[in-house]
Structure 1
Amino acid sequence: MSTNKKKAKNLQKIKDFIADNKFAIIFTVLVVLFLSGMIWLSNLQKIDLSNIDISKEISSSKNSGDISEHVYHKNNSKVTLVEYGDFQCPGCKTAASRVKSIAEEYKDKVNVIFRNFPLVTIHPNALAAASVAEAAGLQGKYWEMHDLLYDKQDEWTASTASERMEYFTEYAKELNLNIDQFKKDIESDKVKAKIKFDQAVGSKAKVTGTPSFKLNGKDLSSDIWGDDAKLKSALDEAIKNQK
């Protein structure tokens, strides 16, 4: 039998196996995703946030890998807009330019914070992307990498682990990062701690999807954050009422 015929025969066997066992395969995948989610949730619950006001900027600590919060144009305002985002989330990509524009317009009036909330059970590359942004942040280029990941989301979102690293390394080169240090930091305990901490904060804030926005700790519905006029109105009201 020729090599091509053998390959065709083996391929047909695989197709037949999948066809005969598709429900079992789907069930197994769902179980794996469920267990992964339970393990993820269990790990988050180990972080003590009982004395932390998550509606405001949170000081860095050992729990957050001693990495500070990511705040656009930090100021003394008592108004805080927090986004819980996932770099692989299409909705977050759509929201990114709007958030940046708002942050620029209100840079002296509102603290705009981005917190990692990768939806690990449905976005397999989101956690890696969050690690990449944090690693860039350790070299002073967090927001630049944040923007690149969203701008080029279509390039890496469906890639394999090895493929995505090639993309991420190219982005790091664009930002003139020290590549060796960048790769070490991606896998570092402090970066892992920062992302895990953000996820725990998001869990406490009852975040279930992304993007999710909180204005002084209160939920902003998508019809507000998705509409510039309504979002500005909500911010203006919060600024007027700040104490």
Structure 2
Amino acid sequence: MLVKTFVKNNLVLCVASVVLVVFFLGYLVGMEVGQDTVRKQELANLEQRLAELKDSKSNTPSQISKDNDPLLGDPDAPLSIVEFSNFQCKFCLRFYSDTLPLLKTQYIDTGKVNLIYRDFPIPKIYDNSMSAALASECANEQGKFWEYHDILFENQHTWRQNESDLSLLTFKQFANTLVLNQEKFDSCLDSGKYADEINSDVGDGRDYAVSGTPTFFVGNDKVGYSSLFGTQSFSDFQKIIDEKLEQ
């Protein structure tokens, strides 16, 4: 009797184990299928974007407005890089950390190129991008745009996933770090003072077929502009800049 009970119990355990293994394998397969679907959708989106860029190359405007946005370098430099960007974008961070230092050393600091930063927040994708843009404009009001620009990118990991209220507190702490007039900065940020300015940048960007960040326009009104989208290497910029400098 004990032997039969033992065999019966072990049989139940074996069946249960098989069921669990089958369930777990099914879960993994389902998860993999889900991930594969996501990857296919991302690839489709990328291919669509590349096709749009290919079709729009010949339609790149010959003139790109710099508005009155922050400029890095010599205002009289022969060429400009007009950047449409947002501070919460990982690809924008990659440009800041990997490509901009080389551009600054070889072209901006040497007076050959200047960089104009234009806001292009995308709140539907990046929850904190609008408030970050507003904060940078408030810093610009006190003459510290580029310092604030740098601190936002260098600390992106500390605020990009935060709830909006917590991000606002973080942005105010950054102002304190840069020794800005705190009361003036806080009032500026809380009131959304520069929302119209930012929306004007977004409107111009859409007129230029900007649909994602970062997007760059390299050139001047005389030789025209070439566009670059997404994470681009220094050599990609270098090729366009050198060609336009020779024109």
| TM-score, normalization by structure 2 | 0.67
Equivalent of 1:230 in 233, 236, 241 = 236
Give the ranges of 4+ consecutive aligned residues of structure 1 lying more than 6 Å apart after TM superposition: none
Q: Whole-Å Cα distance in 2 between the matches of residues 149 and 189 of structure 1?
A: 18
Q: Whole-Å Cα distance in 2 between the matches of residues 139 and 218 of structure 1?
A: 33
Q: Whole-Å Cα distance in 1 between the matches of residues 187 and 106 of structure 2?
A: 36
Tell me how many residue pairs correspond in the alignment.
179
| TM-score, normalization by structure 1 | 0.68
Shift of 1:229: 2.0
**Residue 106 of structure 1 aligns to a residue in which SS?**
helix
1:127-183 CA-partner distances (Å, limit 9, x unpaired): 000001110111111001111111111111111122112211111111001111001
Residue correspondence of structure 1 range 184-223 to structure 2 within 5 A: 184-188=187-191, 190-216=193-219, 217-222=225-230
Q: Whole-Å Cα distance in 2 between the matches of residues 141 and 54 of structure 1?
A: 28
Task: Report the counterpart of residue 57 of structure 1 in structure 2.
Answer: 66
Task: Report the counterpart of residue 82 of structure 1 in structure 2.
Answer: 82
Q: Whole-Å Cα distance in 2 between the matches of residues 120 and 202 of structure 1?
A: 15
Equivalent of 2:132 in 120, 129, 150 = 129
Q: 1:145–1:171: 8 Å Cα contact kept in structure 2?
A: yes
State the AA in 1 paired with 2:107. Answer: Y
State the AA in 1 paired with 2:235. Answer: A
State the AA in 2 paired with 1:83. Answer: E
Cα separation, partners in 2 of 1:220 and 1:133, compared to 1, 3 Å: same
Q: Whole-Å Cα distance in 1 between the matches of residues 62 and 143 of structure 2?
A: 26
**Residue 194 of structure 2 aligns to a residue in which SS?**
helix
Shift of 1:103: 3.0
Q: Whole-Å Cα distance in 1 between the matches of residues 138 and 106 of structure 2?
A: 28
Task: Report the counterpart of residue 168 of structure 1 in structure 2.
Answer: 171
Q: Whole-Å Cα distance in 2 between the matches of residues 54 and 132 of structure 1?
A: 28
State the AA in 1 paired with 2:117. Answer: F
Q: 1:56–1:80: 8 Å Cα contact kept in structure 2?
A: no
Cα separation, partners in 2 of 1:85 and 1:237, compared to 1, 3 Å: same
Task: Report the counterpart of residue 101 of structure 1 in structure 2.
Answer: 102
Identity across the alignment (%): 28
State the AA in 2 paired with 1:55. Answer: I
Q: Whole-Å Cα distance in 2 between the matches of residues 231 and 147 of structure 1?
A: 21
Task: Report the counterpart of residue 13 of structure 2 in structure 1.
Answer: none
Cα separation, partners in 2 of 1:123 and 1:78, compared to 1, 3 Å: same
Q: 1:54–1:201: 8 Å Cα contact kept in structure 2?
A: no
Residue correspondence of structure 1 range 33-52 to structure 2 within 5 A: none
Note the aligned Cα RMSD (angstroms): 2.0
Q: Which has the larger radius of gyration?
A: 2
Q: Whole-Å Cα distance in 1 between the matches of residues 77 and 90 of structure 2?
A: 30
Q: Whole-Å Cα distance in 2 between the matches of residues 221 and 125 of structure 1?
A: 22
Q: Which 5+ residue runs of structure 2 have no aligned equivalent?
A: 1-60, 220-224
Q: 2:226–2:240: 8 Å Cα contact kept in structure 1?
A: no
State the AA in 1 paired with 2:241. Answer: L
